Structure 1
Amino acid sequence: MRGGWRHSLRLRLTLYLLSAGGAGLLIHAGLTIWPLPAIAAWAGHAALTPWSGAALLITLALLVPLAWALASALLAPLTRLLRALESTVLSYRDGEFGSAIAADPPGGLSELASLMQLHSELGQALREQRRHLAQRELLLDTVVQNTPVALLLTDAQERVAYANIAARQLLDQGRGLAGRPLDEVLSQAPQDWRSALTGVQDGLFSVMLDGQEERFHLSLRDFRLQGQPHRLRLLRRMTRELSRQEVASWKRVIRVISHELNNSLAPISSLAHSGAELARRGQFERVPGVFASIGERAAHLHAFLSGYAAFAKLPAPVLAAIDWPQFLDRLSDHYRFRIVGELPTAPARADAAQLEQALINLLKNAHEAGGQEDEVTLSVSLSTPRTEWRIEVQDRGPGMNEAQLSQALLPFYSTKRSGSGLGLALAREIAEAHGGRIAMGNRNGGGLWVAISWPRS
């Protein structure tokens, strides 16, 4: 009742109790004082005394239905309110926040006014939060769907839970992936795709798309969504970025070679002039020292240029059988490493000298990474279904950030101040000359892994 007098629950309860008590007294008086005793005397029957058991039982029997009716009348507004609250709570559980309860408390009970107000404010707040969440989800979905980075989310059974437009275009020509097993999605994909996406490590890898080599960076993140484990794979196309970096690297190497040539040719020119002047003056005893200095500078320049020439003029590999124990024993003469796992019994076919040079570079980097020497490991494996050889070198150094990983295989890029930037690039060239590839990434627990793989011939 809006604008009228609101009865409090306590007042109503007091009035109902007084009413029930008064009704009980009236019933008992009617049974023991008047009119029932007068009627009983007229009929010749004995009247009930006020404290007799029969009078009390009859009074109680008549009072209980009356008290029940009064209690029902008192609790009816509360019952209606509780049912309404139950209905709205069920609606909230189902995500429907449009339900509302009348602003006036049922039956005009003032104690319920604050509860009704709070419930109304709660419903309004939930509706506003849902509207804002819907707007944010729409914005997030728009951003995720249109990002050039391919996002693939799988559940604990490796079924695709979510895939954005880039992932659908990349993996199945734009067709939907949700609900499909990852193995089914990758069943027609190249081996490089399957190896990368079914692995458990971040890294760079390359695939052939439309007849051209494309390079990708894969990031994996495990987390729990709605209490269930999920894995998020992020695929970033790196070909254009790597091409841009390669151009920058070639410009940098031209500057490096030009600087080194100037640093060597200028002293040689000066020393040659000094030698000629000494010879003109007849000071021949000092001429051998001049020629020795010229020879040292020339030898330094020759060694410097030889390293670049070896990278630029890598010969075609000459394939021959490689016996793994002998090959690794010879490799251990250069750098120490610990073999992990069993060595394959089948021999591989590769250019032993080139493969050894590539692994020397990887082991050198692993030892210079700063981790424990006994943590440098090497493993050799033959992939299932035995179509590809893989050699992996691991260390426990600091690893690389994403920017360093994206450039690590570029010629002349180095994270070390004194590095030439040719070790990983040469290993990449050797792997690709064998028809294979090189991949790398950070290890769980710290460190870096670098793997060379090539087809089994």
Structure 2
Amino acid sequence: MASDARFTRVSPFVIGVLLRALLLGALAYASAWLVLNTNYYATTLVVLICGGLVVADLGRVVTRADRSVERFLEALSAGALETPSRTAAGLGRLAGPFEDAVALLQTARRQRQQSNEYLQTLLDTVPAALLVIQADGEFALVNRAAVRLAGTAATATLLRVLGPAACAQLVSLAPGTHQILRLAGGAQVLASAAQFMLPGGAPQRLISLQRLAGELDAVELKAWDDMVRVLAHEMMNSLTPIASLSESLEGLLRGGHTEEVSGALEVISRRSQGLMRFVERYRKVAELPQATLQSVRLRDLLQGIEQLLRASYAAAGIEFHTSVVPPDLAARMDPDLIEQALINLLRNAADAVAGQPEPRIEIVCGEEEGQLRLDVLDNGRGLTESEREQIFVPFFTTKPGGSGVGLSLARRIALGHGGRLTVQAREPRGSAFTLLLPAARA
């Protein structure tokens, strides 16, 4: 209502223009009458001069109003949200709407600034250093951790801290992949890459650099604790009876108990061979070959696995299916290692569905956010939460006579490809092992 009231009043600017127009019209009429009806040439000249002055004054007033609006719009373009003076020529009527527009723009600017400050605060709480590699290959610091890593906010300092080798590796790091880098000072960081694109802009990559000291030490210590615990358990199971029997052999020999001595030696031999087999399993885990990447069609890979396991699954009454979406999906991987990982997962699934009604195993392959996803699904007995937490620990097994090597090897193969292997429970029963590998498209 207030805005409507402003526009129902006649502004001084309009009144001034109307008066000048009326005066100009009167002077024009007077000059025409003098020319046609009299010989007062001097008077006619004076009237014409007055008319010219009125025209000039009218142009001056209109021009002043135009310049006021122009200066206001230029100030808006420059980011200066200031309301023009109500006394500016020609703006008496427009000052109110201008004030409303400026108030809205100021509110929008404050909200945008608060949103930017909120997002920056969130980024600054992230312990990992965040960098952006722009389309032209330039680096930009994003959060406080990145500034701390560089020592200053200068990008040139960051490049010196990273070193040429790490910079080259970051530039070539594909979105969705991870890599451990060594900085110029010798420190190690875990680099992860993601890709984003601003509206109307070129794709850019977001890089996170997480220092491994501290976090990695804790994880490594826990891994060593688990490994030592398993090794100690397995070795003590073999060495305890060997030591006990060795101590009793001398007495048995002196007593002439040759049959008992023979039995004891057989036990020692059997347990020694078991210990050697355990050491061989440990060697397999420790000496996993380096992945040799090549382009592989997933349909071909799964068909080869189907041919390998079809007979044994059919004999066990296991229903087995595979699917690849899209059918021509291909990825860069080591086919031998990935095939071995899948075979280990499928053997584990076969053991899980043994004795279950209508046993079924399925491999589902597809893409997920630029990654290759392979799901090995079964409807077996499933795993408890405690078993899922330990299932990838070397030599841990839930099966009588199991080696506890297959799943840990599969996980190491996934990690060797820059991916990961996880397990989840299925409903109503069964397990889902998910193998995620980076850069699905070959």
Give me the TM-score of the superposition, normalised by structure 2: 0.50
Q: Which structure has the larger Rg over C-alpha atoms?
A: 1
